[in-house]
A and B are shown apart, each in its own frame.
Chain A
Amino acid sequence: MSFIVVQAITGLASAASLFLIAVGLSIVFGVTRVVNFAHGSLYMLGAYLAFSFVAAFGDSFFGYLAAMLLAAIVVGGVGAVMETSLLRRIYRAPELFQLLATFGVVLVIQDLTRLIWGADDRFAPRMPGLDGSINILGHAVPQYDLFLISVAFVVLGGLWLLFRHTRFGVLVRAATEDREMVAALGVDQRWLFTGAFILGATLAGLGGALQIPRQAVGLSMDLNIIVDAFVVVVVGGMGSIIGAFVAAVLISELLAFGVVIFPQITLVLIFLVMAVTLVLKPSGLFGRPEFTTAEDRRNPDPPLRAGQGLSRIFWWSLLVIGLAAPLAVGDFAVIVLTEIAILALFAASLHFLLWGGGLITFGHAAYFGLGAYGSGLAVFHLSMGMAPALLMAPLAGAAGALLFGWFCVRLSGIYMAMLTLAFAQIAWSATFQWVNFTGGDNGILGIWPSAWASDPVVFYYLAFGVCAAVIWGLRHAIFSPFGYTLRATRDSSLRSAAIGVDVTRHRWLAFTLAGAAAGVAGGFFAFAKGSVFPDVLFVSTSVDGLVMVLLGGMQSLAGPILGAIVFTEIETELTRLTDLWQLFLGLLIIGLVVVLPHGLAGLSALIRRRSS
């Protein structure tokens, strides 16, 4: 009995940490609709700053407290700079484009942090005055845990007061509910957005600062926390403060007791909770369903027609260049070209969902990875040759998409994105921990092409040929009756349903088709690398795919291809040249986002407009 009480308190302390991080993210999303990937970076920055301030003047209780608060305020300032100089410029850009910008910020902050504080883990001293433990029912409980729990309640209460009793708070709540209405009533949105973003950033910084008496400060903090924070926000309901609190408590307590009964579950549990919540209550525990009519009004794209003129020249020249390139370049360039062909297909399949179906997914790596594992496992367990093993790839990708898609397409917007992420992370955990079947972290080795295709140039032509054919197939699907119907469901699901289109089924089919195409790419990826590891299913692969699509431009079918070419080339060459490649890549992404808010493919439209 005493154990249960103490474990519950321990869970509450973890919940307090989670809540402080998630609540800022929730506020920012609620008001600005920006999915802020850099929230974890702000959290990390808060921890590093607090570490330095504590080293300078943190040798008393109040000094330590001041150090943590100062760190939070500085991070709030960083947030202000980030909002005014970057995000403010791109609120009008296509949906998800802000995501790309914040991802650029993640890369920049990661490298800047390494430059300033070095690569070593930093471990701050305990907080003076709260450096011991107290006895509760015969168990020692750290005093700081109790302090952290009370801070969480203070922040919760403070936010409640802020949102109930100040004009700013009322406006934030109003904007969370209906942004357009608030704008129509003449509220200066810029001021409101900046304010909400500063508040969110300060809370992230505070969350990070408050962690330093509990854990070492390191460079993996940003990505380690961001996914968990998203999960809490989504389970609680986007924009809901009390929701974030309840979700944080729920997840932390489940984890605290889960480790006692079934220690292996820790990696999957949080995603299982999210998946179950979203399936049962699609807008989270305390979230309100979004207005579908408001959703419908976005997407002002003119309908895209099958290409003529310029676009036709582009596709044919791409084909000619692709076929001729191996004759003109060196051995290694052929390998890079193979990778580009594969990733172009991956990006195109993601683009098919994002643009064609308006289905936002953060978990597309799942189908790429399932394809890679489908091929890899076929070679490893069934000793298949290359050709039949490659056929397993689209089957595996499609099967996964068919299963996960059934749940995902019932949701929309950010909730759908998070459910796709949950499934991808569950698939990743399974490959990571199911060692007997998948080889776990050590992966599957020895997946090399058959003798006839072992020459890199032959393998390149094979990969290029198949990937180009599948990309052409996806393009064909976009202009088929199915594709037009799909795009109709994207532009207005309500009107599509009214004329008798089965919206869910069309989305489900699109999801499966994209899964199969991503699976093909994954299969070739496995044979190109000779091995498969769980990281192909990890969220970073999904993010890479999103970066390619967004970099290339959403509004054009050429976008994902261009994005894959540019992203792969830049990454390959930059990492050869400098240790600071993340910084340069991040700055490049941010620069592109600001200059070309429609991606690289938007460049041609820009030129056309200028010249006419």
Chain B
Amino acid sequence: MLRMRFRTYLTTAVAALLTVFSASIVNAQQDPIRIGEINSYTGPLASFTVPYRNGWQLAVEEINAKGGVLGRKLEVISRDDGAKPADAVKFAEELVRREKVDLIAGTFLSNIGLAVADFAQRNKVLFVAAEPLTDAIVWAKGNDYTFRLRPSTYMQAAMLAEEAAKLPAKRWATVAPNYDYGQSAVKAFQDVLKGLRPDVEFVEQQWPALFKLDAGATVQALALAKPDAIFNVTFSVDLAKFVREGQLRGLFKDRQVVSVLTGEPEYLDPLKGEAPEGWIVTGYPWQGIESAAHTAFLDAYSKRFDDYPRAGSIVGYNTILTIAAMLEKAGSTDTQAMVAAMKNLELDTPFGPITYRAIDHQSTMGAYVGRTAKVDGKGVMVDFRYANGADYLPDDATVRKLRPGK
């Protein structure tokens, strides 16, 4: 009897142990998937990164409400790099080593994107670069572990050059901030436009220092060259100065202006009643996109934040959609499996389906191209169309040359 009882005890104990053990396994299964996120949330870039943060928060909440991915919730651990590349690398180290994240995402400035991409390659961590625009991150300095979501400088410039080629203008002037982004945008625009229209010439180039545009002098210098049309790359505070001085000094009268990113609410809305009319721009006309997918996003975003989305919001949202779709495809958080899953990853976004190209790790997310107009005293985009990113990338042979080691 006693022995019997002992046996029962033993079995019960073993069973109990097993239950506890298996429960802990299940718990481990249900530990959240940890995503490290780095961006410039303080300092002068906050107006661009805060809508972006709203975007990814919304996506995380929606996905977790549906039970997460692979039966696990998503958890984002976010860090502010204060717009310093060295600090971004420090937090990448922290996220990987202390927080043990499964992958890294984010960044806005091109140089910070490049610094983190280099870190990702060295430490063999997947990096989903959300916002940096530089072509180098997928081409000249592209690496195995880095994938980029947003349409690049080259793609945006190519979209605009296509429209510019339809204009009668022959004499072009350019104005761009004097650093990598401005220089690459001007170069890409010139190359594509000259390819389409060998008869155009570039008669004047202005290179103001970033955020230090001497607007009056620059506008006068542009007018002096008497161009037919102007290609503008300035943005943010420089754009506001440029637009006001240009209008006051009649620079835009009878001239076409083609302008990168100016249709994004981040840049267009601060101009309020002085938003330029008739400029050809790339951007995000959130009021006018009628697809069901975008309407659902717009409603959810407006409800959650009591605000309308900016271009950054959609980038943040798509970043998390990308990661969720990749995890479903990879089936695990093993880095090699995740990197393999990123290649040719297809997913649906509020902008429609996008693909991450295996050849250069660039997504085919596009942008809207249209003209600016004023409605009710505010700048909006009209006559726009969605330019699919896939149509504005060079052919594969050129990409292979641009991306060494591939």
A interface list, Cβ under 8 A from B: 3, 6-7, 10-11, 13-14, 110-111, 114, 118-123, 125-126, 132-133, 139-142, 144-145, 214-216, 218-220, 224, 255-257, 259-260, 263-264, 266-267, 330-332, 335-336, 339, 432-433, 435, 440-443, 445-446, 448, 525, 529-531, 533, 535-536, 572, 575-576, 579, 581-582
Contact = CB atoms under 8 A, between A and B. Distances in A.
B244 interface: yes
B216 A10 contact: yes
Interface stretch (B56-64, B234-242, B277-285, B291-299): B234-242
A576 B90 CA distance: 11
17 contacts: A121-B240, A133-B248, A139-B223, A139-B249, A214-B245, A215-B244, A216-B241, A220-B43, A255-B214, A259-B214, A264-B178, A433-B179, A435-B183, A440-B179, A441-B181, A530-B118, A531-B114
Interface residues of B, number: 68
A141 B180 CA distance: 32
Contacts of A123: 240, 270-272, 274
B89 A531 contact: yes
A216 B218 CA distance: 17
Contact of A445 (B41, B50, B115, B181): B115
Nearest to A133: B248
Interface string B164-184: 000000000000001111010
Interface in B209-254: 209, 211-212, 214-218, 220-221, 223-224, 236-237, 240-241, 244-245, 248-250
B111 A442 contact: yes
Interface stretch (B92-100, B325-333, B359-367): B92-100
Contacts of B93: 332, 335
Contact of B79 (A257, A267, A440, A575): A575
B248 A445 contact: no
Interface stretch (B80-88, B315-323, B347-355, B383-391): B80-88
B258 interface: no
Contacts of A445: 114-115, 117-118, 141
Nearest to B179: A441
Nearest to B216: A10
Given A215-B215, A224-B212, A442 B94 contact: no
Contacts of B240: 121, 123, 215-216
Contacts of A3: 220, 224
A11 B117 CA distance: 43
B270 A13 contact: no
Nearest to A221: B237
B344 interface: no
Contacts of A133: 248-250
B68 interface: no
B122 interface: yes
Given A139-B249, A575-B79, A432 B122 contact: no
A199 to B, nearest CB: 27
Contact of A266 (B212, B269, B271): B212
Contact of B217 (A118, A256, A267): A256
A141 B249 contact: yes
Contact of B180 (A335, A442, A525): A442
Given A13-B216, A535-B85, A435 B207 contact: no
B241 A529 contact: no
Contacts of B32: none
A331 B98 contact: yes
Given A11-B217, A219-B46, A255-B217, A533 B249 contact: no
Contacts of A330: 97-98
B205 interface: yes
Interface string B64-88: 0000000000000001101011110
A335 B94 CA distance: 8
Interface of B: 41-44, 46-47, 50, 79-80, 82, 84-87, 89-91, 93-94, 97-98, 110-111, 114-115, 117-119, 122, 134, 136, 141, 178-181, 183, 205-209, 211-212, 214-218, 220-221, 223-224, 236-237, 240-241, 244-245, 248-250, 269-274
A536 B134 CA distance: 20
A332 B272 contact: no
Contacts of B42: 111, 114, 579, 581-582
A10 B41 CA distance: 36
Contacts of B270: 120-123, 216
Contacts of A219: 43-44, 46-47
Nearest to A255: B214
B92 to A, nearest CB: 10
A186 B227 CA distance: 66
Contacts of B46: 114, 119, 219
Given A264-B178, A441-B180, A575-B80, A533 B85 contact: yes
Nearest to B245: A142
Given A133-B249, A215-B241, A443-B115, A121 B214 contact: no
Contact of A581 (B80, B115, B208): B80
A584 B158 CA distance: 45
B121 to A, nearest CB: 8
A215 B181 CA distance: 22
Contacts of A214: 215, 241, 244-245
A218 B274 CA distance: 17
A151 to B, nearest CB: 16
Given A215-B215, A218-B236, A529-B90, 4 more contacts: A114-B42, A214-B244, A260-B220, A440-B179
Nearest to B224: A3
Contact of A126 (B80, B214, B244): B244
B386 to A, nearest CB: 26
Given A220-B44, A525-B86, A533-B86, A7 B220 contact: yes
Given A263-B207, A448-B122, A535-B85, A256 B111 contact: no
Nearest to B212: A224
A144 B247 CA distance: 13
A140 B248 contact: yes
B115 A7 contact: no
A431 to B, nearest CB: 11
A123 B178 CA distance: 23
A142 B244 CA distance: 10
B211 A220 contact: yes
A220 B238 CA distance: 11
Which residue among A125, A144, A259, A579 has the maximum number of chain B CB atoms within 10 Å of its CB?
A: A259
A215 B242 CA distance: 9
A550 B261 CA distance: 43
Which of B91, B114, B117, B272 has its CB near the most chain A CB atoms (within 10 A)? B114
Nearest to B121: A446
Q: Identify which of B84, B86, B141, B208 gathers the most chain A CB atoms within 10 Å of its CB.
A: B86
